[in-house]
Amino acid sequence: MISAHADLEQDLLAVCRRFRDRSQYLEVRVEEAASTDFAFQGHELETLNRREERGGDVRALVDGAWGFTSFNRLDQLDEMAAAAVDQAKLAGGGPVKLAPADPVQDRVLLPESAQAEEQTLAEKVARLRALNELILGFGAPITTSTAYYADRRARIWLGTSEGTAIHQERLDVTAALVATAAAEGRVQSRSFSTGSSADASLPELDEEQAVSVCRECAGLFRAPKPKAGDYLVVVDPRLAGVFAHEAIGHLSEADHLHENPQLRQVMTLGAELGVPELEIYDTGLVAGSRGALRYDEEGVAAGRTDLIKGGRVVGRLHSRETAGAMGELPTGNARAISYRYPPIVRMRTTVIGPGRATRAEIFRGIDRGLYCVGSMGGQTNGEMFTFSAALAYLIENGEPGELVRDVTLTGNTFTTLKNIEAIEDTVLIEESGGGCGKAGQGPLPVGDGGPHLRVRGVRIGGD
Amino acid sequence: MVTDELLLEQALDRAAAGGARQAEVFFAEGASDSVDFEANRLQGIDSSSSRGLGIRVLVEGRLGFSSTSILDRVEDAVDAALDTARLTEVEKPGFDLPAGEPIEADISDPAVAGIGVDELMEFGRKAVDRLRPLADGVLAGAGASRWTSHWEIANSAGLRRSCRKSGWQFHAAAQRVEGTSILWCYDGSASMHRDVDVDEAIETTAQKLRQSLKEGVLPAGRHPVVLTPAALSSLLGSLRLGIGARAIYRKTSPLTGRLGEQVLSQLLTIHDDIRPEAGMAGAPFDDEGIAAARLTVLQAGVLETYLADLRNASRLGIQPGRASRAGYASAPFPGSRNWLVEPGDAPLAELLAQAAGGLIVDSLMGMHGSNLVNGDFSANVGLGFAIGPGGETLYRVKDAAIAGNVYELLGARLQALSAERKWGYSGSELMPWALVEGVPIA
């Protein structure tokens, strides 16, 4: 029986070697993970869970077709590899050709900030309890709260038939504070969330944030909804980041593109999608971001990939399969949320680059507009997007004024990219506690960010 | 499986020895095969298996939970659960794990469990062959999978219940890009029996695709809307969230304290049914071992009940029986199962004729960003069609957004439900079409 040990990747290499003649390419992964999560709801610690898991998967390519199997029993790796090969054969051939990648042998350990178990579980609970009590003690109209913390520490071993053998440690920590006001059949919430891949102590999670979500929640509870219609909008870095992720990031995922000639046309290299100042990139290099990544699930190093430069398409996100199909280079974007899933093309940290406007210039001269702050999630089908701002302020005479609630921004992605009027000169990447979902795999830790943007003609929903 | 039984007993013994007055072990294992067709071809075959267990303990009235897939280290998981129970509060008013007759159920269907990978591939190919030639630039896809599962619950009150179950799902999908216009349409369902109609799912997808080849816009303003079963299900998400016992106990639901009151249109009668015959989310007992029963949530628009697990049932003084788990690694939480909406009297054709000049809404995008528990929403119409004077479908409506409050739209504004009903994608929702008047479209 194989148990998880420090140089397990060498054992996986041996399995791959035994199946080298029966497949074009084969990879074996083993993951061992320990996670903790807890949540306060009101005064009570409603849930406190600890989880441990160990599992693996095998992905095999035979005659250009994939077979995949995942499992919890690690005592039959050869049988599992044989099963993946059989499934791939059953698929009966396919067009998959992997782009070449140099075999890598490496070990990626977590930084010290993540290594040290500085705080015991009891201390983590006590810290969050104090913040939660601060919210509950705020007073009217705040009636209840949620405070949430989760961490997952994983060790992943990868071996491939091409000789790649990597051992990686990964950490994902998230936390959220939510203040809720409920009265007269109306409910209003405001939340703050943060996350990290390197620092388990989450320094952003502090009393100031707890008080600020209460103040904003109280404001929202009394705030009116804006009138529906088309607005000149200023979005903050969090919302700009969500736009980068949802609108351009997903469109740049090459698995959507490589077999879709029409979409490939829209996203063809050199196509002018946005204003000349627009720059968007996806990177694994932002230290501490939840999207930080050294090697993806195929063992490809994850660097920075420029997607839009000078308003034009300059690149896209690849796995080895999509890079092979499009004759481009792999970018290190093949990711999986766990051993239960095969790697697919995913984002890491997606960022709108800096422009030239100062913050003051962004707001200057706006007679009537909306300043949208923070995100409550977004969705896109490629063409249309819908994002919810956490809160928004009416802008009058260049100044953010009255607070409004339940602000939903919708529009056509391509039109909106050309309607960007100004881009701030400073980029902010703030981590949040959510994640990205795609093809049944979610939430995947990702990061995003950007500068303040001024955009005309954004439709705000409502009656 | 004898070894599993032994595992469960050992875990319970260790929990008792560690000071747990009550303990419960939930063991689950499953295996699935699935095929995925995208962009007109098979992308891969996935054969996966999983197993693990979760353990919940009550130590001096405090709850703890842990889970593991490392079955040779179950004692570590028990100790972790005992550890977590040292940090939580004493449960008020507290609850007792149930006793009861042993059940060894097998609701798996050999006709489903026997669906092979080659058959799944056949379904997918059929979808691609039918959808691809319908228009230039169509990317046809399909997904088909079949799974079997087995789970056991054992608790310190002596309850021993196990179940075997099987199921499968199929969906067909088509995507089409023209310029910067992107269309997605799909249809399909899931079932514990062979009754998912693959051909119908493919034909429905084909019809949606054909109807989408012409595009247009609808003037902004208030319009009559026919919600398809899928869209009605999206809107009823507010009610589903709002009747969960957690939101009621926390008073974060607008339905708090409103039992016996008219909360939606009297046209709406909704049952939450966990029994195996009721749909894909069925089982002989819930995930805490409580025997299956049908609950009427809404009787002619009047709120009849909330849905609770043991813990929240005790807090609210109502009946339990709606505990779910998202696999072995999840502690029980309260929520709905099979969600069945009673049909109306009018044929669908009549509803459509009454909605002349309005809009059919099939899918909504961005609902999850809305203030759903409150009922307020604003979403893009993902797939919608303009309705002609005779109720016929004219063209795909592009760039439309719909907004409002669920309790208003499905309250005073709901005009009629169709006599026809349709199973949703998950195989656990059976819904009619709904005619709603005066819906704000932007």
pLDDT of the residue at A2: 47
Task: Read off the amino acid at residue B373.
Answer: V
Distances from the Cα of B94 to the Cαs of A278, B62, B99, B158, B246, in angstroms?
A: 58, 9, 16, 19, 15
Chain B CB contacts of A68 under 8 Å are: 44-48
Domain ranges across chain A: 8-222, 229-460
Q: For residue A26, give the 3-state DSSP assignment.
A: strand
Cα–Cα distance between B140 and A161 in angstroms, integer?
A: 33
The distance of A361 to chain B (nearest Cα, Å) reads: 30
Among B307, B339, B334, B336, CA closest to B323: B334
Residue entry with tokens 């004729």: B353
Residue entry with tokens 């005073």: B412
- For residue B282, pLDDT beyond 90: yes
- For residue B403, pLDDT beyond 50: yes
Cα–Cα distance between A418 and A272 in angstroms, integer?
A: 9
| Chain A CB within 8 Å of residue B262 CB | no
Token pair for B123: 């379904």
The pLDDT of A101-115, averaged and rounded, is: 88
- For residue B393, pLDDT beyond 50: yes
In this complex, the residue of A187, A228, A261 whose CB is nearest that of residue B374 is: A187
Chain B CB contacts of A83 under 8 Å are: 47
- For residue A153, pLDDT beyond 90: yes
Put simply, the answer to whether A53 touches B52 (Cβ < 8 Å) is yes
pLDDT of the residue at B108: 97
Which residues of A94-141 form beta strands (DSSP E)? 105-108
Chain B CB contacts of A91 under 8 Å are: 42, 44-45, 121
Q: What is the pLDDT of residues A297-347, one digit of tens each?
A: 999 999 999 999 999 999 999 999 999 999 999 999 999 999 999 999 999
Put simply, the answer to whether A260 touches B44 (Cβ < 8 Å) is no
Put simply, the answer to whether A384 touches B178 (Cβ < 8 Å) is no
Cα–Cα distance between B256 and B151 in angstroms, integer?
A: 34
pTM of the shown model: 0.91
The pLDDT of B292-315, averaged and rounded, is: 97
Any idea which architecture A8-222 has in CATH?
2-Layer Sandwich (3.30)
Chain B CB contacts of A53 under 8 Å are: 52, 67-70, 329
Residue B233 has φ and ψ, to the nearest 5°, of -60, -40
Distances from the Cα of A1 to the Cαs of A34, B72, B422, in angstroms?
A: 21, 11, 49
Q: What is the CA radius of gyration of chain A?
A: 24
Chain A CB contacts of B41 under 8 Å are: 94-95, 259
Chain B CB contacts of A385 under 8 Å are: 380
| Chain A CB within 8 Å of residue B88 CB | yes
In this complex, the residue of A49, A188, A383 whose CB is nearest that of residue B180 is: A383
| Chain A CB within 8 Å of residue B39 CB | yes
Q: What's the mean pLDDT when you consider all of chain B?
A: 94
Domain ranges across chain B: 2-210, 215-442
DSSP state of A174: E
Look at B215 and B399; give whichever has higher pLDDT.
B215
The pLDDT of B27-39, averaged and rounded, is: 96
- For residue B149, pLDDT beyond 50: yes
Q: pLDDT-derived band of residue B1, with 50, 70 and 90 as boundaries?
A: very low
Q: For residue A437, give the 3-state DSSP assignment.
A: strand
In this complex, the residue of B84, B371, B382 whose CB is nearest that of residue A50 is: B84
- Half-sphere exposure of residue B280, counting CA atoms within 13 Å on the CB side? 21
Residue A140 has φ and ψ, to the nearest 5°, of -55, 145
Put simply, the answer to whether B81 touches A378 (Cβ < 8 Å) is no
pLDDT of the residue at B367: 74
Tell me whether strands B41-59 and B22-38 are parallel, antiparallel or unpaired.
antiparallel
Token pair for B344: 């109306």
DSSP state of A252: G
Among B171, B185, B204, CA closest to B139: B185
pLDDT of the residue at A1: 39
pLDDT of the residue at A260: 86
pLDDT of the residue at A3: 54
Put simply, the answer to whether B48 touches A414 (Cβ < 8 Å) is no
Cα–Cα distance between A306 and A303 in angstroms, integer?
A: 10
| A95-104, A406-415, B28-37, B107-116: least confidently modelled range | A406-415
Distances from the Cα of A339 to the Cαs of A335, B73, B358, in angstroms?
A: 10, 20, 47
Residue B88 has φ and ψ, to the nearest 5°, of -90, 170
| Chain A CB within 8 Å of residue B179 CB | yes
Report the share of chain A in percent with pLDDT over 90: 83
pLDDT of the residue at A115: 67
pLDDT of the residue at B2: 42
Task: Name the maximum alpha-carbon separation found in chain B.
Answer: 74
Cα–Cα distance between B424 and B408 in angstroms, integer?
A: 23
Which DSSP string corresponds to A396-435?
ETTEEEEEE-SEEEEEEHHHHHHTEEEEBS--B----S--
- Interface test with chain B among A74, A125, A384, A459, by most B beta carbons within 10 Å: A384
Q: pLDDT-derived band of residue B369, with 50, 70 and 90 as boundaries?
A: low
Q: Is A256:A264 a contact under the CB 8 Å cutoff?
A: no
Look at B399 and A116; give whichever has higher pLDDT.
B399
Q: Is B176:B167 a contact under the CB 8 Å cutoff?
A: no
In this complex, the residue of B84, B121, B366 whose CB is nearest that of residue A49 is: B84
pLDDT of the residue at A4: 61
Q: Which helix (H) or strand (E) holds A168?
A: strand A165-183
Task: Name the maximum alpha-carbon separation found in chain A.
Answer: 71
Q: What's the mean pLDDT when you consider all of chain A?
A: 93
- Interface test with chain A among B371, B398, B409, by most A beta carbons within 10 Å: B371
Chain B CB contacts of A342 under 8 Å are: 44, 46
Put simply, the answer to whether A459 touches B118 (Cβ < 8 Å) is no
Tell me whether strands B160-178 and B103-106 are parallel, antiparallel or unpaired.
parallel
Cα–Cα distance between A121 and A150 in angstroms, integer?
A: 11
pLDDT of the residue at A112: 78
The distance of A106 to chain B (nearest Cα, Å) reads: 27
Beta bridge partners of A71: A56
Token pair for A181: 């006001």
Residue entry with tokens 């693990």: B52
Q: Is A361:A277 a contact under the CB 8 Å cutoff?
A: no
Distances from the Cα of A123 to the Cαs of A114, A126, A129, in angstroms?
A: 16, 5, 10
Task: Read off the amino acid at residue B101.
Answer: E
3-state secondary structure chain B: CHHHHHHHHHHHHHHHHCCCCEEEEEEEEEEEEEEEEECCEEEEEEEEEEEEEEEEEEECCEEEEEEECCHHHHHHHHHHHHHHHCCCCECCCCCCCCCCCCEEEECCCHHHHCCCHHHHHHHHHHHHHHHHHHCCCEEEEEEEEEEEEEEEEEECCCCEEEEEEEEEEEEEEEEEEECCEEEEEEEEEEECCCCCCHHHHHHHHHHHHHHCCCEECCCCEEEEEEECHHHHHHHHHHHHHHCEHHHHHCCCCCCCCCCCCECCCCCCCEEEECCHHHCCCCCCECCCCCECCEEEEEECCEECCCECCHHHHHHHCCCCCCEECCCCCCCCEECCCEEEECCCCECHHHHHHHCCCCEEEEEEECHHHCCHHHCEEEEEEEEEEEECCCCCEEEEECCCEEEEEHHHHCCCCEEEEEEEEEECCCCCEEEEEEEEEEEEEC
pLDDT of the residue at A463: 61
Which residue of B lies nearest to A230 if distances are taken between CA atoms?
Answer: B442
Chain A CB contacts of B43 under 8 Å are: 66
Q: For residue A382, give the 3-state DSSP assignment.
A: coil
Torsion of CA A220, A222, A227, A232, to 10 degrees: -40
Tell me whether strands B429-441 and A334-335 are parallel, antiparallel or unpaired.
unpaired
pLDDT of the residue at A118: 65
Question: In the A/B pair of chains, how many CB contacts fall below 8 A?
Answer: 225
Task: Read off the amino acid at residue B265.
Answer: S
Interface of B with A in 127-156 (CB under 8 A): 137, 139
Highest mean pLDDT among A373-387, B248-262, B312-326: B312-326
Token pair for B108: 């798996």
Cα–Cα distance between A60 and A64 in angstroms, integer?
A: 10
Among A282, A316, A288, CA closest to A302: A282
Task: Read off the amino acid at residue A241.
Answer: G
How many other CB atoms are there within 10 angstroms of residue B251's CB atom?
16
Put simply, the answer to whether B47 touches A382 (Cβ < 8 Å) is no
How many other CB atoms are there within 10 angstroms of residue B106's CB atom?
12
Put simply, the answer to whether A51 touches B45 (Cβ < 8 Å) is no
Put simply, the answer to whether B39 touches A260 (Cβ < 8 Å) is yes
The pLDDT of B384-390, averaged and rounded, is: 96
The pLDDT of A134-148, averaged and rounded, is: 96
pLDDT of the residue at B313: 97
Q: In the CATH hierarchy, which fold is given to the domain comprising B2-210? A: PmbA/TldD fold (3.30.2290)
| Chain A CB within 8 Å of residue B403 CB | yes
The distance of B154 to chain A (nearest Cα, Å) reads: 19
- For residue A162, pLDDT beyond 50: yes
- For residue B180, pLDDT beyond 80: no
Beta bridge partners of A373: A391
- For residue A59, pLDDT beyond 50: yes
In this complex, the residue of A66, A94, A266 whose CB is nearest that of residue B180 is: A266
pLDDT of the residue at A6: 66
